[in-house]
Chain A
């Protein structure tokens, strides 16, 4: 069974229509195309020649400000450009690119480049980068070939680089950078709200507006020119419980343009609600060990999917050979052997769709026209009715998936890996909020428990505010902590509690989804690359939570200095 790839050209076409001079390549694009020809002539005696080369130039202009309790802490406007070069030698079948080499994998041919679209400067930088990339690829392929002489390899030999159709992608979405003063003013005003809660130890606001342009050209003839903007406001609040437990949470707002961010009144209200909740948590009792049904709702449902499901759907390519002595074998995805089998309960669907930039009224951060390998982003049906249809892929083929589905994405300074865009989980038979609640209570009762739990927000493993990251596949369980937890008695009464940590919360917990709600919540991130995860409430049959293993440091002995001091 093959994953369902819907190559929606909607976004791309719409974006192209908005471009005024789409036919005229930029000086950078001309430099890339001109230098590609020379790059393909690179050669060393008795060594394989390049069979593929590509240049990726990403330019980013941004304005940011950080403020704390109403005063500016940092701010800057930045204009940076980085170039990344991929030169492949040998053949698609064997070029050494999937082999893991430990520290050598960090030697990436990426470099800061001259800004300002200067043809000569860009071309000179690409020349130097291409030379390095070619030599690195030659050396790596030689090491791989040597290892292949001595190491046993899998029977099934996958090519290391997929063949893809030549594409020309153009998406220039207009984005206007606000004046630095506007960004600073917003950060100041929003963070000043934190003064209202004396129990808050910190109220830090990071406000960011940026626009990015990806230009890509390959020796195959593919090009991409993808310009987009993003605006991000991130509030981080923290306090300490009386027993010393650190408590932090984030409230984030993402939009494709500064002008599309929610009104400050709306952001202030969200900050206020989070602050109220955090202050209440400070005095909340500590939950004892618990094992039973848990309803993940609000942001926690999307956080849970980002923590335990997303990494399994975007696994790293399977290496042809390992060049890391003594390295533990990468376990890969927990779903690796499950293509075509049920991995989630019936009725659950999961897609990744970088071609949409909204889910209803909610903006999505993971929209892009072309990925960092120049492949157009495509909607991918990953799980349908609980059955795994496929994984997200880059141009490194997987068993059963020989082509990229446009998810070869890179952070600002890394080589492309496999990364989600907009990962969305939904149900074919969504449950109403009252049904979710009644099933939670019924399940608790069936287990002879006095209460069930609702988790509404997670925090990071060290108690700091949660942020999305792609969990390495060797880390099989989530390290996130339950932050906002509510005990729901059998009579329906709610009590806010603090909880220690999850015990072995991994993707296996999703086997036992009892119900899936309807109202999707989205969490977004801009680092390592822009992405969103959306999920409705998820009722899991059994999740274990345990008390904190260690005593905490005592809370501050003096109160926060007040306005009047």
Chain B
């Protein structure tokens, strides 16, 4: 029913990277008002072209290669059951997570694990076991989708131990693949021809790229002390019910080898310092604020002064939300500030242009036959480019060098001048798109599908923030609306792309302003943005000249993957909102207990 969604809260809540100016309540205009003009170039930093590896291979690569070769050569030897393609992808991850609240550490862990995904294809590239089964037996479909599983690999480079784990996983996957191919062939034999005659696997050039394994230094004790000290201040706000400060640091090295000869050693590191606080409004609505700082390494995270200011700011906003009135359902002009607009495009468009959905009969295929058609106003370009490493110098979560099928990440053009141009492609071809553009992605333990990386909305013409606001007020008057809504911050969203539900999306805003004709604004709460993609996309009127980034994790069939979405603020002629789901539980009945340290709480 909901094959794709964007995880909310802790997973998807955003980072305050370079977008602070566009995610704060209105204050001094950033630029003088000016008419629409050609947009300034987007300062995206791209990774160097992936050509040659430059590091030494980890022993695990050789060990896995030995087992992969044995499997490729000997499984079903001389029969049609023999695999024609085998891929091993190992995820070697070290993660540190420390959480603190009320001045004390809740938990602290430093774990390492290696997960192996084995992909085996039997049949041939024109028809293999990955061919989507058509509607008719949903259980069988689900069974085939969720059969992929990860195997824990030893952390030490012991050949027998690693190969034994890989061997069992390969045997199991190979058997699954053979059984699945029988289902695929029998369905083909009895059902009408499919609309999309594309093969199941594209031919791509094998590559070798060896980068140094991911690593980081972190003084766990020092971080525990730091988080404890920073979190002690939460207790001074009696209205705050929960407040957790967390640092999580991940270093992941992906080892990917295929029977075609691809060998990759791909490191990534990510550090996040985040803060999550919640309270309850008098009517029972749960409210929370989340703020995160992202960096490549823990040493690059901001200092205490910046963090304390951010916490104070978010707590102020949380308490302001607590006092804010609940918004009524609304239809009319809206401004989506950069991060909200970015999530809007991620949900409304991004998931619908993932290549594998175009040949799946159970998918709505909103854009499958829109190639060359206008789907957006002509001022908008949209592309996804996972080569992008940073914007305004801040790292992008969705960046990667090679995808999970060993294809170099590339810029995939989706919309040019409002005209639909193409899809995000894995190695599963679809009508007219025979090659991957490096968007095959998965979380360890899942199968691969095409996913977003760094989605960018780039207007060809833009206006200043002040001009956008002015056009917004003009639009209110034109439509005779007493007020419009400005969506400043969001926590995530989700969408349905399959035929068994409405082709709709929902974005979950957290900071929403009611903007009146005279320009004054009132904070409101309890409102969700929803709509159907084609209608809403067509109602974009203008874009601002300041970009914001939404960094988070997106969950779909292939698991949770890091993503970024970049967009300027957008003015839309009409969007609909609905009241958000809410509990009706009273706020805490007693004030918080008094502090023995003598601050805050009940006396």
Contacts and interface: CB of A to CB of B under 8 A. Distances in A.
A127 interface: yes
B168 A114 contact: no
A125 B102 contact: yes
8 contacts: A43-B589, A74-B152, A121-B104, A128-B241, A131-B588, A556-B171, A565-B70, A565-B163
Interface string A394-412: 0000000000000000000
A553 B168 contact: no
A558 B104 contact: no
Given A112-B107, A114-B100, A120 B595 contact: yes
B142 interface: no
Contact of A71 (B67, B112, B161): B161
Interface in B53-84: 66-67, 70-71, 74-76
Interface in A68-107: 68-76, 78-81
Contacts of B585: 135
Interface string B94-107: 00000111111111
Interface string B562-603: 000000000000000000000001101110110111000100
**3 nearest A-B pairs in the assembled complex, by CB-CB distance:** A71-B154, A114-B104, A71-B161
B51 interface: no
Interface of B: 66-67, 70-71, 74-76, 99-114, 152-156, 158-165, 167-168, 171, 175, 235, 241-242, 585-586, 588-590, 592-593, 595-597, 601
Contacts of A114: 100-106
Contacts of A69: 154, 158, 160-161, 164
Contacts of A127: 588, 590, 592-593
Given A118-B103, A127-B588, 20 more contacts: A69-B161, A71-B162, A72-B156, A74-B111, A74-B112, A75-B155, A79-B107, A112-B106, A114-B104, A120-B595, A121-B102, A125-B101, A127-B593, A131-B589, A201-B168, A558-B70, A558-B74, A561-B164, A562-B160, A565-B163
Contacts of A35: 593
A51 interface: no
A41 B590 contact: yes
Contact of B107 (A75, A80, A124): A80
Nearest to B241: A128
Residue among A41, A71, A120, A123 having the largest count of chain B Cβ atoms under 10 Å? A120
A526 interface: no
A183 to B, nearest CB: 14
Nearest to B242: A128
A561 B100 CA distance: 46
A4 interface: no
Nearest to B67: A561
A81 B106 CA distance: 7
A565 B104 contact: no
B409 to A, nearest CB: 31
B168 A202 contact: yes
B164 A124 contact: no
A42 to B, nearest CB: 5
Interface of A: 34-35, 38, 41-44, 66-76, 78-81, 112-116, 118-121, 123-125, 127-128, 131, 134-135, 195, 201-202, 553-554, 556-558, 560-563, 565
Nearest to A238: B168
Contact of B171 (A79, A116, A557): A557
B589 A134 contact: yes
B164 to A, nearest CB: 6
A39 to B, nearest CB: 8
A66 B162 CA distance: 14
A73 B153 CA distance: 6
A120 B164 contact: no
Given A114-B100, A558-B71, A73 B588 contact: no
A74 B113 contact: yes
A interface SS class: mixed
B108 to A, nearest CB: 7
A72 B155 contact: yes
A35 B99 CA distance: 24
A544 to B, nearest CB: 32
B552 to A, nearest CB: 23
A190 to B, nearest CB: 13
A121 B101 contact: yes
A537 B586 CA distance: 58
A195 B160 contact: yes
B159 A565 contact: yes
Contacts of B159: 561, 563, 565
Contact of A560 (B105, B167, B596): B167
A563 B110 contact: no
Nearest to B105: A115
Contacts of B163: 561, 565
Contacts of A68: 152, 154, 161, 164-165
Residue among A70, A71, A112, A135 having the largest count of chain B Cβ atoms under 10 Å? A71
Contacts of B75: 557-558
A558 B171 contact: yes
B193 to A, nearest CB: 33
B167 A120 contact: no
Contacts of A71: 154-156, 158, 161-162
A279 to B, nearest CB: 16
Contacts of A38: 590, 593
Contacts of A201: 164, 168
Contacts of B155: 71-75
Contacts of A72: 154-156
B109 to A, nearest CB: 6
Contacts of B242: 128
B152 A116 contact: no
A238 to B, nearest CB: 9
Contacts of A202: 164, 168
Contacts of B153: 73
Nearest to A118: B104
A67 B164 CA distance: 13
B167 A124 contact: no
Nearest to A131: B588
A560 B67 CA distance: 10
Contacts of B106: 81, 112-115
A116 B167 contact: no
A416 to B, nearest CB: 23
A76 B111 contact: yes
B158 A70 contact: yes
Contact of A131 (B107, B164, B167, B590): B590
A562 B154 CA distance: 16
Contacts of B107: 78-80, 112, 115
A75 B112 CA distance: 7
B167 A556 contact: yes
A175 B223 CA distance: 28
A76 B171 CA distance: 30
A116 B595 contact: no
Contacts of B235: 120, 124
A560 B164 contact: yes
Contacts of B99: 112
A202 B71 CA distance: 18
Contacts of B111: 74, 76
A33 B109 CA distance: 30
Contacts of A119: 596
B589 A44 contact: yes
A286 B464 CA distance: 80
Contacts of A113: 106
A34 B594 CA distance: 10
A124 to B, nearest CB: 5
Contact of A553 (B108, B175, B593): B175
Contacts of A558: 70-71, 74-75, 167, 171
Nearest to A556: B171
A202 B152 CA distance: 12
Contacts of A120: 102-103, 235, 593, 595-597
A561 B166 CA distance: 10
B108 A79 contact: yes
A201 B110 CA distance: 30
